[in-house]
A and B are shown apart, each in its own frame.
Chain A
Amino acid sequence: MSFEGKYNAKSPAVKRLMREAQELHEATEEYCAYPLEDNLFEWHFTVHGPPSTDFEGGIYHGRILLPPEYPMKPPNIILLTPNGRFEINKKICLSISGHHPETWQPSWSIRTALLALIAFMPTPGNGTIGSLDYSTEERQQLAKRSLKWQCDSCGKIAELLSKDAAKKPITEEEQHMLDTIALKAEEVSSTENSFASNTENITENGLRQRGVQVLAANNQTQEQLEVIVNPQVETMSSSNDLFWTILIASLLSGIILLVLRRLFLV
């Protein structure tokens, strides 16, 4: 890394980011992230779609923007690869959720943000700003296409992740964070820009037009805004996938049963 001359190496934020760059230096099979050559406050990342979800097999690329106050203020994430869960080219940030007023902690890091992103992908978008609720088929199709996706500065993203490096275990603290955090788009006035580029992208992909309408509706109802539901995020480590899938399925069927009973037995 050649930042030494460019930044004040004594500034805690610069020191911290250099350390994080060092820590994330080696790609794992789950994620990789690094600062741009000429800007320590902008990073690019690549994450693997979580297994046993709509995003399985997909590889997604994006930018991380660090505010000058980092780590006192949270990083912003921008996805670049179409994925069907988050709008692309739109800032999403680790933010408070409606149910647990949890805020960014300076002791979290870029790794934390990436883990949160991965964990948050399979959760329902629920019309939250910056969220998309594409169908499983559409997401799987996007996941397949993502392997061919290229970044202007990083090249073919499919080659960025490691094939064999085991993922670092998630600590207790991180698990707690994943249980309580919510990701949502920042309400920026540049909504229209990203809206436009999104429209372009979706039509380009020839996938569908409906997403655009959803988006437009989203923009108009900005006032009503989102209720951020805070699902207990299932961080699926491959060993207990099955357990969670079964648990969720049985819970869901239980709820459906209760609803049906209520509807028909009254």
Chain B
Amino acid sequence: MEDKRSPQWSSENTDVNQDELILQQQRRIEREISESIALVGEKESLISLELEYAKDEVYLAKTKVLGQKYSYIRRTRPDGNCFFRAFSYAYLERLIDNKEEYEKFRELALKSKDNLVALGFPQFTVEDFHDTFMEVIDKVGGDSEASRLELHKLFNEQGYSDYVVVYLRLITSGQLQREADFYQHFIEGDRTISEFCHQEVEPMYKESDHIHIIAMSTALGTGVRVRYMDRGAGTEVTAHDFPEGALPTVHLLYRPGHYDILYP
């Protein structure tokens, strides 16, 4: 009784059915991706990006421009969590060499749980995510070389890696709801901030937009520079700093739908 036809042939179905088919296809794609791409990859020379675009003039030209400012790239799995995963990896990696900032961040992370509970998030589960988040922070607080290895290991263990992503999503959602008056202006349609958070921020695998990046970087008191690379005219790879004017601590490369980490 199972319908074996492929999704694109079922256009006569209702919208809801389309949703279900899209979900099924999505699951298939997710599986393929997770089998072939690491959650967070090794640091590669930017030349690998040039090779990838050897036959694509537009992207090749932009990659060369990018190469004037950056030397390395670290790829992340494109599963909708890539912004949060890429950011948290790159930021913790930076903190390994910067003990003062590390302590400051640890302090902020410790306090963040009470803020979330005060905002009405369920204490029981927030605590669970927070504990693991702190565990990851503590595990990368020692000697530099060992911490680097530990960070890479933890971020490639689905459990730890996803817990970090969940907790950052909660922090982002918390920030959006705390400053709802401000962020409301950026929401399209007639959704409230809390609806937006429930639909676009808190669930896993939901992609991040400017508003996510602004809220998260504001909440963590740090800056992110995103380099945008697309098919647009020119050879520039536009930089956007979040929040505006902040000193960037993490550099990310954005190609439509995906974020990777960049290093000078």
A contact residues vs B (CB 8 Å cutoff): 11-13, 15-16, 19, 23, 69, 71-72, 96, 98, 100-109, 112, 171-174, 176, 180, 187, 189, 191-192, 219-220, 222-228
How many residue pairs between the two chains, A and B, have CB atoms under 8 Å in the bound complex?
93
CB pair B17–A224 under 8 Å, yes or no, is yes
In the complex, per-residue mask of B196-229: 1 if CB is within 8 Å of any chain A CB, else 0: 0011001110100000000000000000000000
Report the minimum CB–CB distance from B138 to chain A (whole Å): 14
With beta carbons under 8 angstroms apart, the residue of A96, A171, A189 that contacts B122 is A171
With beta carbons under 8 angstroms apart, the residue of A173, A220, A227 that contacts B120 is A173
CB pair B20–A225 under 8 Å, yes or no, is yes
CA distance A103 to B170 in the complex (A): 15
Chain A residues, CB < 8 A from B91: none
Chain B residues, CB < 8 A from A174: 122
B68 interface residue (CB < 8 Å to A): no
CB pair B13–A223 under 8 Å, yes or no, is yes
CA distance A37 to B132 in the complex (A): 26
With beta carbons under 8 angstroms apart, the residue of B20, B170, B203 that contacts A104 is B203
A-B contact pairs, 13 of them (CB 8 A): A11-B159, A12-B132, A72-B166, A98-B15, A98-B19, A102-B198, A107-B166, A172-B120, A191-B2, A223-B10, A224-B14, A224-B17, A225-B16
Report the minimum CB–CB distance from B14 to chain A (whole Å): 6
CB pair A13–B203 under 8 Å, yes or no, is no
Chain B residues, CB < 8 A from A69: 158, 162
B contact residues vs A (CB 8 Å cutoff): 1-3, 10, 13-17, 19-20, 120-122, 124-126, 128-129, 132, 158-160, 162-163, 166, 170, 194-195, 198-199, 202-204, 206
CB pair B20–A72 under 8 Å, yes or no, is no
CB pair A224–B13 under 8 Å, yes or no, is yes
Chain A residues, CB < 8 A from B121: 107, 173
CA distance A219 to B13 in the complex (A): 15
Chain B residues, CB < 8 A from A19: 124, 128
CB pair A226–B16 under 8 Å, yes or no, is yes
CB pair A72–B162 under 8 Å, yes or no, is yes
CA distance A96 to B13 in the complex (A): 18
CA distance A19 to B126 in the complex (A): 12
Residue ID in chain A nearest B116 by CB atoms: A107
CB pair B159–A109 under 8 Å, yes or no, is no
Chain B residues, CB < 8 A from A222: 1, 3
Report the minimum CB–CB distance from B121 to chain A (whole Å): 6
20 additional A-B residue pairs with CB within 8 Å, beyond A23-B124, A180-B198, A226-B16: A11-B159, A12-B160, A15-B132, A98-B16, A102-B198, A102-B199, A105-B198, A106-B129, A107-B121, A107-B122, A107-B125, A107-B126, A107-B202, A109-B124, A171-B120, A174-B122, A176-B198, A191-B2, A223-B10, A228-B16
| Chain B CB within 10 A, most for which of A11, A13, A105, A192 | A105
| Chain A CB within 10 A, most for which of B3, B125, B132 | B125
With beta carbons under 8 angstroms apart, the residue of B14, B158, B204 that contacts A227 is B14
Residue ID in chain B nearest A11 by CB atoms: B159
